[in-house]
Amino acid sequence: MGYKQAFGKWGEQKAAAFLESRGLEVVAYNWRCLYGEIDLVARNENQLIFVEVKTRKNDQYGLPENAITPKKKGHLVRSAMEYINRYAVTCEWRIDIVSIQRLADSNYEIEWFENAITEND
């Protein structure tokens, strides 16, 4: 595994721990289908939450959450719909973004954007 993949995996692990500390249960990691990949699939009491994790080591190219292009949003919505259809999901659902910015002292900041991407994006 290369540095970029390992760094992405690190971010996904931090995001999963963050979400779990807020009461969500992560039920799938890196779920793949024809339309792309969903980094995390989580749930709370009454919703299924698809999570896109964006991790950056600096802000040279902007904030992590700003790296999600309209094309990526479309892939996420189609992937979420595929998951819903494949597993006959009947509860409410949403797509969130977890943004992780690594800081110079090996710490990091996490920001959680709930319902960040909708079917109309």
Strands of the sheet containing 25-33, edge to edge, are: 25-33, 36-43, 47-56, 92-102, 108-117
Straight-line distance from the first to the last Cα atom of the chain, in angstroms, rounded to the nearest whole number: 32
Can you list the positions of beta strands (E) in the chain?
25-33, 36-43, 47-56, 92-102, 108-117
DSSP state of 44: -
By the 8 A CB rule, do 31 and 52 touch?
no
Report the C-alpha gap between 82 and 91 in whole angstroms.
Answer: 15
pLDDT of residue 38: 98
The residue range of the domain holding 22 is 3-117
pLDDT at 67 over 80: yes
DSSP state of 106: S
Instruction: Give the pLDDT band of residue 71 (cuts 50, 70, 90).
Output: very high
pLDDT at 7 over 90: no
Number of domains composing the chain: 1
Taking residues 3-23, report their average pLDDT: 93
Taking residues 5-26, report their average pLDDT: 95
pLDDT at 74 over 80: yes
By the 8 A CB rule, do 46 and 53 touch?
no
More confident residue, 63 or 22: 22
User: CATH number of the domain that 92 lies in?
Assistant: 3.40.1350.10
